[in-house]
Amino acid sequence: MFSRYTFFGGRRHAIRREGEREGAFVDLYGPGILMLVLLVVGLNIFDSFFTLVYLQRGGLEANPIVQLLLDQGMGTFVLVKNLVIGFALCMLCVCKNFSYARLGLQIAIWVYSLLAVYHIFLYSLDMF
């Protein structure tokens, strides 16, 4: 999974043989995976921002873990949320040749996209 080339001067960007694709690790990543990861990062930031807007307008947080973070302060909420999602995205990127990692990245994109649509819908109704 990790080698001395993972962080400094990677060597392998693709698999050697087609039959090895599933479950193979590489240490260089292409622009496609970078774009997907940046999409999730952007959607995560969008979700954080609109969650804070919603709460400032009198809304309530239903997730008790997020509420615990919010009780510590908005900065703590944003920092922890972004660190957790960032770590998960790094793991999905490293494991990009595993079917479960690809599925996890697709699920993250869909869930965050639906959350963005939901936030926009609520904002358009002036519900928060």
| Residue-wise pLDDT tens digits, 30-59 | 788 889 999 999 999 999 999 999 888 888
Position 60 scores a pLDDT of 85
| Residues with Cβ within 8 Å of residue 29, at least 6 apart in sequence | 13, 93, 96
Percent of the chain at pLDDT > 90 equals: 46
pLDDT at 22 over 70: no
Residue whose pair of structure tokens reads 């990790």 in the numeric block:
2
Can you tell me the distance from the alpha carbon of 104 to that of 111, in angstroms, rounded to the nearest whole number?
10
- Across the chain, what does the average pLDDT equal? 82
The DSSP code for 125 is T
Confirm if 39 and 116 have CB atoms less than 8 A apart.
no
pTM reported for the whole predicted model: 0.77
pLDDT one-digit tens code per residue, 93-104: 888 878 888 899
Can you tell me the distance from the alpha carbon of 101 to that of 88, in angstroms, rounded to the nearest whole number?
10
**Alpha-carbon torsion (57, 116, 97, 23), positive or negative:** positive
